[in-house]
């Protein structure tokens, strides 16, 4: 137990047995606290989280008066995190990495489970390619799941300075693939990226070094459905492999984390496929592809550690040769 908490208990005991007066003659009332840090420190199943908070100094932050929402992994979740990432124990995790991982579990303010809806929110982890806040994908279709991997097991544990939601897995720092697989709106895109054993899109989009960072203009499931209708094909498997590979590459930009604020009207964007497309700014952001077709950007700035995703409503097609 922390020294500050021991001191608080000593003061409380002194106040019970020997009340003192303040300068105005009133009694000094000392009340115990139950902050986020207190809760974690007093819970045997969160000893790993408690130790991690102390190592990074975040225990002090979560012991203050500012309100936070914390998705709290238990000891079993931390043990799995160590094993999955090749760490023997907490001592092996670099402090800067651990800090970012922990901040990926924290939201400013009080967010009850009933306030959560399916979609993207920002975490407090500043870990994008140029220090942007990472996104979190919340799925409330069946309970609450975060980034497709961590499930809330106990919600709305109220404490003095916020609320805690217990989760069954450490929420790792997400890459582009994390969001593509977590968001069901991109299931057709994932099926396309993994259709052929020769495709290396998944391995590439998980990279953190060159050619990362990436900017991905990601077509939704409806966009792929419209493409099949346009091509008069029944299913994704009907698209010839070389055409599908070229089309998918056309949606990826390498070496740049281009957020919505970085876009400009008439911007020519070079794709991984080798051809360009054009960004147009107006009432909505649209993209004119190599065949003069138009796609509208319907969601922006889904930030991962190795790039950013913008969702679009029409599959882009490169120019014909």
Tell me the CATH number of domain 36-167, given options 2.30.180.10, 1.10.287.1080, 2.30.29.30, 2.60.120.1440: 2.30.180.10
Per-residue pLDDT of 204-262, as tens digits, reads: 999 999 999 999 999 999 999 999 999 999 999 999 999 999 999 999 999 999 999 99
Tell me the pLDDT tens digit for each residue of 90-101. 999 999 999 999
Residue 15: its pLDDT value, please?
37
Residue for token pair 């975490």: 123
pLDDT at 243: 96
- Reading the block at residue 187, the tokens are 């299931």
pLDDT at 24: 54
The pLDDT score that the predictor gives to residue 33 is: 84
User: Does the pTM exceed 0.85?
Assistant: yes
Q: What is the pLDDT of residue 2?
A: 46
Burial of 159 by CB count in 10 Å (0-12 exposed, 13-18 middle, 19+ buried)?
buried
Residue 20, pLDDT score: 42
Helix (H, G, I), strand (E, B) or coil at 237: helix
Distance CA 296, CA 148 (A): 26
Mean pLDDT rounded to a whole number for the chain? 92
Asked whether this chain's domains 36-167 and 176-312 adopt the same fold, the reply is yes
**In which residue ranges of the chain is pLDDT below 70?**
1-32
CATH of segment(s) 176-312? 2.30.180.10
**Domain spans of the chain?**
1-32, 36-167, 176-312
Separation between Cα atoms, residue 150 and residue 118, nearest integer Å:
14
């Amino acid at each position: 137990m922390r020294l500050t908490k021991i001191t608080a208990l000593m003061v409380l005991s002194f106040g019970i047995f020997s009340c003192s007066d303040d300068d105005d003659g009133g009694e000094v009332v000392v009340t115990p606290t139950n902050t986020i840090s207190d809760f974690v420190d007093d819970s045997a199943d969160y000893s790993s989280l408690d130790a991690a908070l102390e190592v990074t100094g975040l225990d002090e932050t979560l012991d203050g008066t500012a309100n936070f929402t914390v998705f709290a992994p238990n000891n079993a979740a931390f043990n799995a995190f160590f094993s999955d990432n090749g760490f023997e124990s907490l001592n092996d995790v670099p402090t800067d990495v651990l800090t970012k991982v922990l901040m990926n579990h924290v939201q400013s303010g009080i967010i009850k489970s009933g306030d959560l809806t399916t979609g993207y929110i920002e975490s407090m982890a500043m870990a994008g390619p140029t220090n942007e806040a990472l996104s979190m994908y919340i799925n409330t279709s069946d309970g609450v799941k975060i980034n497709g991997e961590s499930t809330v097991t106990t919600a709305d544990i109220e404490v003095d300075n916020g609320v805690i939601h217990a989760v069954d897995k450490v929420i790792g720092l997400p890459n582009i693939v994390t969001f593509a697989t977590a968001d069901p709106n991109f299931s057709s895109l994932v099926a396309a990226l993994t259709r052929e054993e020769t495709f290396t899109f998944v391995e590439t989009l998980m990279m953190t070094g060159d050619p990362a960072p990436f900017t991905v203009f990601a077509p939704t499931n409806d966009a792929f459905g419209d493409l099949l209708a346009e091509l008069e094909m029944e299913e994704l498997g009907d698209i010839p492999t070389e055409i599908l590979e070229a089309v998918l590459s056309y949606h990826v930009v390498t070496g740049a984390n281009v957020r919505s604020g970085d876009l400009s009207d008439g911007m020519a964007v070079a794709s991984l496929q080798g051809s360009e497309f054009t960004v147009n700014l107006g009432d909505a952001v649209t993209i004119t592809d190599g065949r003069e077709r138009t796609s509208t950007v319907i969601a922006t700035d889904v930030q991962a550690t190795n790039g950013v995703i913008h969702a679009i409503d029409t599959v882009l097609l490169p120019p014909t040769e």
